[in-house]
Structure 1
Amino acid sequence: MIISPSVEILNKLIRHQIHNLFLLETVEEAVLARSLPEALYKTEKCFGQSKNKYYKKDGEVFFSIYHSGQYCVFLYFLARQVFLESPECRNLADKVYFLNKTLNGLDLYYEIEMPEVFHLDHPVGSVMGRASYGNNFTFSQLCTVGNNKGVFPKIGENVQMLSGSKILGQCVIGDNVIVSANTYIKDTDVPANSLVFGSSPNLVIKQRMS
């Protein structure tokens, strides 16, 4: 993977941002260094499946640390890696999570298991809750995935949430579903290969044409 401008600058940038916002302890610097390679590996695997032209350069996976969407995904993987690999440094995982939230306006907690490949486009104002997410999940700005009475949705593969859409509660969203802009799904199942719009309980569900 091509990292622009460099891994060294990325290292310095993370440390500088965390230290200026929250303070970075000496022991946390070592944990960051240990977690970074695996976070970059997962980032490369995720970006490698993107069809966005900005994620490839000269036939290789490309990661610009000054591309907010790319940096957003990377920070999620970094926070989660710190959490999984060094649970004793949970404060550091929190700092990376809050850094992501501060910079990108996205609430994506490190305890949430996103799929290996997921995509986002201008995710400002989005909140991703503790749902089950299938591979190639995509979301945009002002999207919400959350619970109703403690129950979270199950989301299949290749699901796209367009801007302002919401999926809440006891929902099973099938594979290859497009959730239209400003759609509100609550405690409702949506079959695979569908286009859905409107608001529960009066959703309109149409078969997608292949």
Structure 2
Amino acid sequence: MHLSLNEADLARYVRKQFENTFPDGADLGDLPKFVELALGRIEHCFSRVRLKGFFANGQVRFSHWHCDQFAIFLYYLANTAFREEPGHPIADKAYALNKALHALDAFYEVELPDVFAVQHPVGTVLGRASYSDYFICYHNCTVGANLDNDYPSFGRGIVMYGGSRVIGKTSVGDNTFVSTGAIVIDGGTLEPNSVLHGIYPNAGHSRTGRNVISDIFGV
């Protein structure tokens, strides 16, 4: 994997970000360990993503200057710290730093898939849904609960375009495109190979011959 900063320098870089943004003196001694684990997840994820800058010449590429990549890294860092040691301050700091830098709200308890991507995700909130591999979202997307605290579930190969929302008891089938500005609330079980469009309560879906994994991820 090609890194813009080697592992040790990346850990020092993140430490400085934490200390400057959250100067509370919390123990960051475990940060190198969590960075190493997060980079392992980055390598697995990016090796299956053919978006520009993620993979080239047979090699995974990760740059701390590539905002979308760094947003994914910070999610993996926060989630990894939470998995390894629930309650660890690094989980909270990485989550909060992601919100501060990228306006991306992906809480560390949310289990995003092993293969996913974001594209300029400013204003996006990814709630406690069930996600599958090859999920990608753009700016100002929302995944959230209804008033009964029911969350959506997503099949394999989902793209949420800018401004779209999927809320509540909604099961989105494999290979689905959620159109720009679409709002789906308690949509029930939606068949695969679909385009979701329209605004609740008049949201609908139509068939598609396109493929998220090949057309968007380039795999």
TM > 0.5 between the two?
A: yes
**1:174 corresponds to:** 173
Q: Is 1:58 paired with 2:57?
A: yes
**1:19 corresponds to:** 19
Q: Flag the structure with more relative contact order, 1 or 2, with Cα contacts below 8 A and sequence separation at least 6.
A: 2
Deviation string, structure 1 residues 163-200 (Cα, Å, up to 9, x no partner): 00000011010000100000000000321100111012
**2:216 corresponds to:** none
Question: Residue 171 of structure 1 aligns to which amino acid in structure 2?
Answer: T
Deviation string, structure 1 residues 3-46 (Cα, Å, up to 9, x no partner): 113323312210000000112646x3221122121111001111
Q: Is 1:204 paired with 2:200?
A: no
CA distance in 2, matches of 1:152, 1:207: 24
Question: Residue 48 of structure 2 aligns to which amino acid in structure 1?
Answer: Q
CA distance in 1, matches of 2:12, 2:143: 33
CA distance in 2, matches of 1:74, 1:92: 13
SS in structure 2 at match of 1:29 = coil
CA distance in 2, matches of 1:86, 1:24: 19
**Percent identity over paired residues:** 37
* Equivalent runs, 1:1-210 vs 2, <5 Å: 1-23=1-23, 25=25, 28-89=27-88, 91-149=89-147, 150-189=149-188, 190-210=190-210
Equivalenced residue count is: 208
Residues 123 and 139 in structure 1, CA contact (< 8 A), matched pair in contact too: yes
Residues 7 and 36 in structure 2, CA contact (< 8 A), matched pair in contact too: no
4+ residue stretches of structure 1 with deviation over 2 A? 5-9, 23-26
CA distance in 1, matches of 2:150, 2:173: 17
CA distance in 2, matches of 1:127, 1:64: 23
Q: Give the RMSD, CA atoms, in angstroms.
A: 1.3
Deviation string, structure 1 residues 49-85 (Cα, Å, up to 9, x no partner): 1111201233210000110000000010111111111
Residues 28 and 90 in structure 2, CA contact (< 8 A), matched pair in contact too: no
CA distance in 2, matches of 1:94, 1:48: 27
1:88 shift after superposition: 4.4
With normalisation by structure 1, the TM-score equals: 0.95
With normalisation by structure 2, the TM-score equals: 0.91
Residues 8 and 32 in structure 2, CA contact (< 8 A), matched pair in contact too: no
Unaligned runs of 5+ in 2: 211-219
Residues 15 and 24 in structure 1, CA contact (< 8 A), matched pair in contact too: no
Taking structure 1 as reference, are residues 8 and 173 closer, same or farther at Cα in structure 2, changes over 3 Å only? same
CA distance in 2, matches of 1:85, 1:68: 25
CA distance in 1, matches of 2:197, 2:49: 25
Residues 46 and 60 in structure 2, CA contact (< 8 A), matched pair in contact too: yes
CA distance in 2, matches of 1:192, 1:101: 32
